[in-house]
Amino acid sequence: MKVMVIHNRRRSAGPSGENRVVEQECQALSESGHDVVGFWRDSDDIESWSLGQKALLPAKLIWNRGSQREVLAALREHKPDVVHVHSTFPLISDTALRACRDAGVPVVATLHSYRLGCTGGAFYRNGAPCHVCTDGALLPGVMHGCYRNSRVVSVPLALSIAVHRPAWRSLISAYLFISASQRDLLSGLGFPKERAFVRHNMIPRRSLQKMKRTPTVVFAGRLTPVKGLELLMDAWDRYCRMAGDPGLRLVIAGSGPMEREIASWAATRPSVELLGYVSGARCAELMAQARAVLVPSVWEEPFGLVAVEAMATATPPVATERGSFIELITHGVDGVLFPADDPAAFASVIADIEARPEVYEAYGDRARETYEQRFNPEHSLKHLLEIYNFAIANPVPASGQGSNGKP
């Protein structure tokens, strides 16, 4: 099968789980004998643009004819059996969907975020989940300046979503939601249910031998407020006050806009080590050596990538009771869940990790079993190919109305 993958890579300044997932899927498809053709754009390129080019970007978010022509030319050159769209924002634009229609190629789309339903992309505002726009409304996102805390820059993004929503409803042969919770939050947008599939992100195996556990817990991810860094700092300080002489060390791996703030906080706490950005292999080693991986996200994560990566290393995730974590983790079996608005409860879990290492070792063993049963990469690839075949067999008709076919 020949697959064209369309993806706008996120900036490399911070770790991007989305980029990693796309690369891993492409590699798995290629290694299994499929022909993968990429249509890529990189957000890093914007830094080298002139001021005039940057000034035109908001208009291109709404309609990018140049990108549409480029996608159409690539489709006619490579003649793929199916197109897999990941992210089109901001350099490709959703006009890519019309190029696929014009070329007569069925489209499979993975929804990695909440962008089609939320101007800010996260259903999160003022430090808490926000569901004002789950029915498809866009004006509140503009009024609240949900994209980058600015009404001005929220306007073109909201207009882009409004202009292209009809295409998203009528030109997609199969929608891939990365969790049931994400699918449910976006259900108000009216996507055809018979074309909607839940498929968790592919998490490859790590060829790690059983590693000796150290008295550490790990946070790995982008250092940004929605990842719960403030909650983590508050809970860690509470744990240290409870413990007096803490028996655990907190290792933080990642980079992002809060890096300077985290570094300042860590500098006065001997029990905390900030590593900055580390490679995927090094991050897996840190997880495999830790007693638990802390995932304190305060937004409703569409998919808890780090939580499942921890499971792959036989390390239990400790995560908030929000978003996809509720369906990924079985509390008290293969990990621990705690209320996202309760730093005291989080601190108590950290203290429990110190006090009962054997319990968390058992959680880790079951986490690895969960990974093999529910997130097996071979099963994930098989499911993806089944969805591709469904899209090829059930392309959206010219009218844009979905069929009732089942894979």
Residues of the chain with CATH 3.40.50.2000: 2-203+378-393, 216-374
CA 22 to chain CA mean position, Å: 10
pLDDT of residue 211: 78
Most confidently modeled range among 51-55, 200-204, 249-253, 402-406:
249-253
CB atoms within 10 A of CB 39: 21
Q: Is the pLDDT of residue 88 over 90?
A: yes
- State mean pLDDT over 182-200: 96
The per-residue pLDDT for range 141-170, each reduced to its tens digit, is 999 999 989 999 999 999 999 999 999 999
- Residue 44 neighbours by CB under 8 Å, 6+ apart: 9, 11, 12
pLDDT of residue 405: 37
CA 146 to chain CA mean position, Å: 19
pLDDT of residue 403: 40
pLDDT of residue 404: 38
The per-residue pLDDT for range 315-343, each reduced to its tens digit, is 999 999 999 999 999 999 999 999 999 99
Query: What would the CATH number be for the domain defined by 216-374?
Result: 3.40.50.2000
Sheet strands side by side (includes 196-198): 35-42, 2-9, 82-85, 107-111, 174-177, 196-198
CB atoms within 10 A of CB 45: 12
Lowest mean pLDDT segment, chosen from 200-204, 209-213, 353-357: 209-213
CA-CA distance, 302 to 322, in Å (whole number)? 10
pLDDT of residue 269: 97
Cβ atoms of 176 and 111 within 8 Å: the answer is yes
Confidence of residue 288 (pLDDT cuts 50, 70, 90): very high
CA-CA distance, 50 to 357, in Å (whole number)? 55
Report the chain's mean pLDDT, rounded to a whole number.
94
pLDDT more than 70, % of the chain: 96
The per-residue pLDDT for range 297-321, each reduced to its tens digit, is 999 999 999 999 999 999 999 999 9
Query: What would the CATH number be for the domain defined by 2-203+378-393?
Result: 3.40.50.2000
CA-CA distance, 135 to 42, in Å (whole number)? 31
Coil vs helix vs strand at 367: helix
pLDDT of residue 240: 97
